[in-house]
């Protein structure tokens, strides 16, 4: 087991020493509402759909602008060339200049622009429907993840109580054995029960950290997911 963990961490079996300190207690479980709000704010698939909706909204506004009259101002200056002067004058040039307004009225583009608007509006409605579906799926995923974390926390507490009870039973069996009131089989059974309870507690802690990693993933929080996954690996 040590070699597998060392290989996963990129360390050698000789230099790797597993952590023996107790893991910190789990952080308070966020409420379902808080978890859903964070998931809606962070999930990349929702962000991508919202960006697409924003782009289509800008495209729709630009398309609507094609139906409005357009006014352009134009100006220009040019020269007609050099002219020979009369006696006593220097050569000179003649310039032309112009200024004007150009008004464009899209009289014959109404049907084409209308079709473009209808197509864009249909795409926006499709994106809105997809966004609602993804949002509902995310909310369901978060609710399930919160429930799994709550169940894992409760299972860990139950395992901790079993360890404490098995430890007390082992101490009683050891005392009875030293006093000559208990048998070796009774002591061995108590030791086995204590080891089993400890193993189950380690497994429940591992499951609890995996559940919190899944909750972090559902909430779109990669930092929470990485932290929980690291603790789960350490707990093994």
Is 85 within the bounds of a domain? no
Is 215 within the bounds of a domain? yes
Predicted confidence (pLDDT) per residue in 84-104, tens digit: 556 656 555 666 777 887 776
Cβ(91)–Cβ(81) under 8 Å?
no
Q: Report the pLDDT averaged over residues 19-39.
A: 75
Is 14 within the bounds of a domain? no
Range of the domain at 115: 25-66+108-235
CA neighbor of 217 nearest in space, from 52, 48, 38:
38
Is 148 within the bounds of a domain? yes
Is 157 within the bounds of a domain? yes
Predicted confidence (pLDDT) per residue in 104-151, tens digit: 666 666 678 888 888 999 999 999 999 999 999 999 999 999 999 999
Question: Largest Cα–Cα distance in the chain?
Answer: 144
Alpha helices in the chain (DSSP H): 2-9, 32-42, 44-65, 110-178, 184-218, 222-235
* Per-residue pLDDT at 101: 75
Helix orientation angle between 110-178 and 32-42, rounded to the nearest 10 degrees = 130
Is 200 within the bounds of a domain? yes
First to last CA, the chain: 9
Residue 150, token pair as written in the block: 């709550």
Write the CATH number for 34.
Answer: 1.20.1600.10
In what helix (H) or strand (E) does residue 71 lie, and over which residues does it extend? strand 70-83
- The total number of structural domains that make up the chain: 1
Is 132 within the bounds of a domain? yes
- Tell me how far apart the alpha carbons of residues 51 and 43 are, in angstroms, rounded to a whole number: 13
Q: Report the pLDDT averaged over residues 54-73.
A: 82
Is 96 within the bounds of a domain? no
Three-state secondary structure call for residue 99: strand
**Which residues face 158 on adjacent strands?**
none
- Tell me how far apart the alpha carbons of residues 136 and 222 are, in angstroms, rounded to a whole number: 21
């Amino acid at each position: 087991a040590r070699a597998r963990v060392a290989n996963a961490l990129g360390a050698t079996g000789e230099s790797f020493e597993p952590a023996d300190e107790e893991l910190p207690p789990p952080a308070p479980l966020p409420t379902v509402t808080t978890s859903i709000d964070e998931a809606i704010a962070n999930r990349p698939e929702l962000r991508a759909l919202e960006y697409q909706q924003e782009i289509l909204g800008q495209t729709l506004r630009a398309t609507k602008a094609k139906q409005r009259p357009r006014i352009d101002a134009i100006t220009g200056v040019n020269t007609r060339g050099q002219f020979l002067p009369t006696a006593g004058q220097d050569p000179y040039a003649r310039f032309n200049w112009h200024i004007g307004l150009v008004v464009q009225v899209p009289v014959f583009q109404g049907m084409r622009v209308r079709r473009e608007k209808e197509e864009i509006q249909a795409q926006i409605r499709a994106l809105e429907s997809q966004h609602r579906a993804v949002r509902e799926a995310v909310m369901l995923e978060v609710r399930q993840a919160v429930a799994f974390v709550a169940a894992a926390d409760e299972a860990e507490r139950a395992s901790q109580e079993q360890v404490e009870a098995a430890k007390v039973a082992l101490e009683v069996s050891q005392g009875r054995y030293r006093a000559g009131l208990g048998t070796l089989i009774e002591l061995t059974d108590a030791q086995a029960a204590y080891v089993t309870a400890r193993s189950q507690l380690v497994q429940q802690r591992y499951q609890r950290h995996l559940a919190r990693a899944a909750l972090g993933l559902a909430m779109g929080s990669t930092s929470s997911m990485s932290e929980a996954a690291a603790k789960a690996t350490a707990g093994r």
